[in-house]
């Protein structure tokens, strides 16, 4: 499995800024061999970014989608609209969607099924809050998110990616230690049974990416803040992996 490096731009960069960012990323990243590099801009930038990134090393992901293909869902985006403009990946269940927008495991399960049906590769995010970790409930929470989110779904390599993102590490500058992350990844892998790419996310930066990716259980990273800085993201893309 090739290592995956994904950059989630969240609600940053208007279309003009996105064009400039993707151009600078391409210049700074240069040639990429045997790594999958995904950028995940906001919806309003997807078309512009997809056009610039066509036939380059960058693949495009979206930050969310609805579970229905079309209909009366004001403000929502169909996965089919995404595939029609060259989007290949979609984040499902990012902690900001779960915790700020109130998305439930059941909603995420429907989204994951639709993404699989229409050929979008989901990056399915799971992770515990700080309180849950302190209460020693990490495994229980991850198991619930996996069991409910994946009900009726057999995750297959190349069709779905799982991202472990401890909520307390996102945007806080606190990273899980490589051992903490490695242990949760091993737990997820055991539960999934089939081979699956599992990413770590939460305050990944150019200085810690190498130790994180050196963990044998960690297949890549989902980067937030550092993916908005071309030079930082390029360094993460090219870290040495043993
Ligand atoms: P961060 O975000 O790298 O800024 O912590 C990660 C994420 O939310 O995917």
pLDDT along the chain (242 residues), means of 10: 96 98 98 96 98 97 98 98 98 97 98 97 97 97 97 86 96 92 96 92 96 95 98 97 85
Residues with C-beta less than 6 Å from any ligand 1 atom? 8, 165, 170-171, 201-204, 222-225
CATH architecture, domain defined by 4-237: Alpha-Beta Barrel (3.20)
Q: Which residue lies with its CA nearest to atom 3 of ligand 1?
A: 224
Q: Which residue lies with its CA nearest to atom 7 of ligand 1?
A: 224
Q: Supply 143's token pair.
A: 């198991």
Among 125, 111, 102, which Cα is nearest to 82's? 111
Q: Which residue lies with its CA nearest to atom 9 of ligand 1?
A: 224
Calculate the average pLDDT of the chain.
Answer: 96
How many Å lie between the centroid of ligand 1 and the Cα of residue 71?
32
| pLDDT for the residue numbered 194 | 85
Q: Which residue lies with its CA nearest to atom 1 of ligand 1?
A: 224
Active site residues: 94, 165
How many Å lie between the centroid of ligand 1 and the Cα of residue 223?
5
Given ligand 1 and candidates 123, 201, 233, which is best to mutate, with the most ligand atoms within 8 Å of its CB?
Answer: 201
How many Å lie between the centroid of ligand 1 and the Cα of residue 70?
30
Residue for token pair 């800085």: 229
How many Å lie between the centroid of ligand 1 and the Cα of residue 124?
14
**pLDDT tens for residues 5-21?**
999 999 999 999 999 99
Please report the sign of the dihedral spanned by the C-alpha atoms of residue 10, residue 35, residue 56, residue 159. negative
**pLDDT tens for residues 60-107?**
999 999 999 999 999 999 999 999 999 999 999 999 999 999 999 999
| pLDDT for the residue numbered 240 | 92
> pTM for this structure?
0.97
């Amino acid at each position: 499995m090739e290592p995956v490096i994904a950059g989630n731009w969240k609600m940053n960069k208007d279309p003009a800024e996105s064009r400039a960012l993707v151009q600078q990323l391409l210049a700074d990243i240069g040639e990429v061999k045997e790594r999958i590099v995904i950028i995940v801009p906001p919806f309003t930038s997807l078309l512009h970014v997809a056009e610039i990134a066509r036939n380059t090393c960058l693949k495009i992901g979206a930050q969310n989608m609805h579970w229905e293909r079309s209909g009366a869902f004001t403000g929502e985006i169909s996965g089919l609209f995404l595939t029609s403009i060259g989007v290949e990946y979609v984040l499902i269940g990012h902690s900001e969607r779960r915790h700020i927008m109130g998305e439930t495991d059941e909603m995420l399960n429907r989204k994951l099924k639709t993404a699989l049906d229409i050929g979008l590769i989901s990056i399915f995010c799971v992770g515990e809050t700080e309180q849950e970790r302190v209460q020693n409930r990490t495994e229980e929470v991850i198991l619930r998110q996996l069991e409910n989110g994946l009900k009726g779904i057999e995750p297959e390599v190349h069709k779905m990616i799982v991202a472990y993102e401890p909520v307390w590490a996102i945007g806080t500058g606190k990273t899980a230690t490589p051992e903490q992350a490695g242990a949760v990844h091993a737990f997820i892998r055991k539960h999934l049974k089939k081979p699956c790419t599992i990413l770590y996310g939460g305050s990944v930066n150019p200085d810690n990416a190498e130790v994180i990716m050196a963990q044998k259980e960690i297949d890549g990273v989902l980067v937030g803040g550092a993916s908005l800085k071309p030079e930082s993201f390029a360094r993460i893309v090219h870290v040495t992996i043993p």
